Amino acid sequence: MPGFTAFISDLHLSAERPAANAAFFTFLRDVARHADALYILGDLFEYWAGDDDLGDPLNAQAVAALRALSEAVPVGIMHGNRDFLLMRPFAEASGARLLADPTRIDLYGTPTLLMHGDLLCTQDRRYQAFRKVVRNPAVQGAFMRLSLPWRKKVIGGARRVSEGEKQAKQLTIMDVAPDAVERALRDWGCERLIHGHTHRPARHEHEVDGRMRERWVLSDWYRRGEYLRCSASGCEAVPVPFE
């Protein structure tokens, strides 16, 4: 049987969304175990307050499931805008490899660029400024010195503000900028780009330097699950049902 690689993102695992959690664990057991590799391109969790929260029941269940998979299949995880505090203890416990954003891979002979996707939303200048601050190691160090309950409280407040701002922003501002996509494909020398973040699953084509290249946007797992299945013959989106 031809090999395949699986890509998912934006699952936003949370105790409040048991159907998505169950679908994810079933996917790891029944689908990902047969893949050549699994790539999770950001926002696996609704939020991540720090690796000292590994004892949370859902977090512990997710880590155990990833550890079981990683013993048979390579697993790569990229930071998203919700779980960028995933660090080495999480990686060691789960057996997953933390990926830089962007990461370039050879996908069955096709140079492919992997991103979470938020870096491509260059028209959202307010978010990009915020991202630069919270990804600063000094800022993260100061934040991690707070107690875990306080960190969760701060994150909850930030999420409420973020949701309010989304309602006021134009959809085009929160989507990727075509020039940012084309620049990334050109700079990294890739024929394909796979990313999440925008929650607008689709396949797009971009003409870069006179050649058509493709961009796949991964689905979120809010109403149903979906993964991108790529092989030597190309990629296709495959649904993952919620029970």
Per-residue model confidence as pLDDT tens digits over 12-41:
999 999 999 999 999 999 999 999 999 999
What topology does CATH give the domain 5-240?
A: Purple Acid Phosphatase; chain A, domain 2 (3.60.21)
Backbone angles phi, psi at 55, to 5 degrees: -80, -10
The overall longest dimension of the chain from CA atoms, in Å, is: 53
Are the C-beta atoms of residues 113 and 192 closer than 8 Å to each other?
A: yes
pTM assigned to the model:
0.95
Which of 159-163, 175-179, 236-240 has the weakest average pLDDT?
159-163
| Interval 130-154 mean pLDDT | 96
How high is the pLDDT of residue 158? Answer: 85
pLDDT tens string 86-121: 999 999 999 999 999 999 999 999 999 999 999 999
CA-nearest of 106, 49, 38, 110 to 78 is: 38
Phi-psi region of 7 (alpha: psi -120 to 50; beta: other; left: phi over 0): beta
The C-alpha atoms of residue 171 and residue 117 are separated, in whole angstroms, by: 15
Q: CB of 32 within 8 A of CB of 38?
A: yes
Range of weakest confidence among 47-51, 61-65, 119-123, 169-173: 169-173
**Domains of the chain: which residue ranges?**
5-240
Q: Based on C-alpha coordinates, what's the Rg of the chain? A: 18
